[in-house]
């Protein structure tokens, strides 16, 4: 059975489920790997601790195309930036870890120089994109893909696959400050970059 076939079955089965429910219904020698692979391919979203959501066909197509375009758009501005927070984790893990976001609600987090805040707001307005400045009151309902701007006096960045991203050390610090949601990401980063962090995460029955 291919992942595509399993996706169709899961869509008919239920829209959201826990890893415990998946194991009991679909016996597999490595259920964690199956679910991890399906998240990477866009068939599922990991929405919480040990819980997964099945993407609809429309969401699957949107994740494959619209999200990519949303990231690419940032480079068109010609301004300094650094993907930060969840997006820094997303880029440093090569797309391997991306939680609490899905097609209907997908904030993209950008750290920018405060001197260029007006330029960024004008750029996104010209492109017809929603934007929210972190710390300011929310003036409209935010849904779909939108950009969250973090206005800073200084922006540090490293290039990752052609994009400017918050440095790895700052990304690790972000994960540590949000350990309950990002402990699995720390393990990925540890293995990918040989950081010797000593992080060992594993889904457990008690977390479901």
Among the listed residues 101, 65, 91, 61, the one whose alpha carbon sits nearest the alpha carbon of residue 157: 91
Tokens matching residue 206: 């008690």
Secondary element (H or E) of residue 188: helix 179-193
Domain ranges of the chain: 3-55, 58-193
| SS3 state at 117 | helix
Give per-residue pLDDT as tens, 73-118: 999 999 999 999 999 999 999 988 998 787 668 899 999 999 999 9
Return the CATH fold of 58-193.
Beta Polymerase; domain 2 (3.30.460)
d(CA 39, CA 2): 14
- Residues ≥6 apart with Cβ < 8 Å to 182: 89, 97, 174, 175, 176
**pLDDT value at residue 62:** 67
**pLDDT value at residue 44:** 93
Mean pLDDT (the chain, rounded): 89
pTM of the predicted model over 0.75: no
Structural contact between residues 127 and 169, judged by C-beta atoms closer than 8 angstroms: no
Site of tokens 């501005």: 77
Q: What is the DSSP letter of 132?
A: E
Res 205 pLDDT > 80 = no
**pLDDT value at residue 103:** 64
């Amino acid at each position: 059975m291919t992942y595509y076939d399993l996706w169709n079955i899961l869509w008919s089965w239920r829209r959201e489920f826990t890893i415990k429910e998946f194991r009991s219904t679909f016996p597999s020698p490595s259920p964690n790997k199956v679910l991890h692979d399906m998240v990477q391919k866009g068939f599922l979203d990991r929405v919480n601790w040990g819980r997964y959501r099945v993407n609809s066909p429309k969401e699957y197509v949107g994740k494959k195309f619209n999200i990519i375009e949303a990231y690419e758009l940032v480079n068109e501005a010609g301004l300094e930036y650094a993907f930060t927070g969840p997006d820094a984790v997303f880029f440093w893990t090569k797309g391997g870890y991306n939680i609490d976001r899905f097609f209907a609600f997908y904030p993209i987090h950008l750290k920018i120089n405060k001197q260029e805040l007006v330029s960024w707001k004008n750029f996104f307005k010209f492109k017809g994109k929603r934007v929210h400045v972190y710390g300011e009151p929310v003036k409209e309902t935010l849904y779909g893909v939108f950009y969250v701007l973090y206005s800073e006096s200084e922006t540090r960045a490293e290039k990752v696959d052609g994009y400017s991203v918050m440095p790895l050390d700052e990304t690790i610090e972000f994960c540590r400050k949000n350990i309950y949601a990002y402990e699995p990401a720390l393990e990925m980063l540890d293995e990918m970059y040989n950081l010797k962090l000593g992080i060992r995460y594993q889904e457990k029955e008690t977390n479901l």
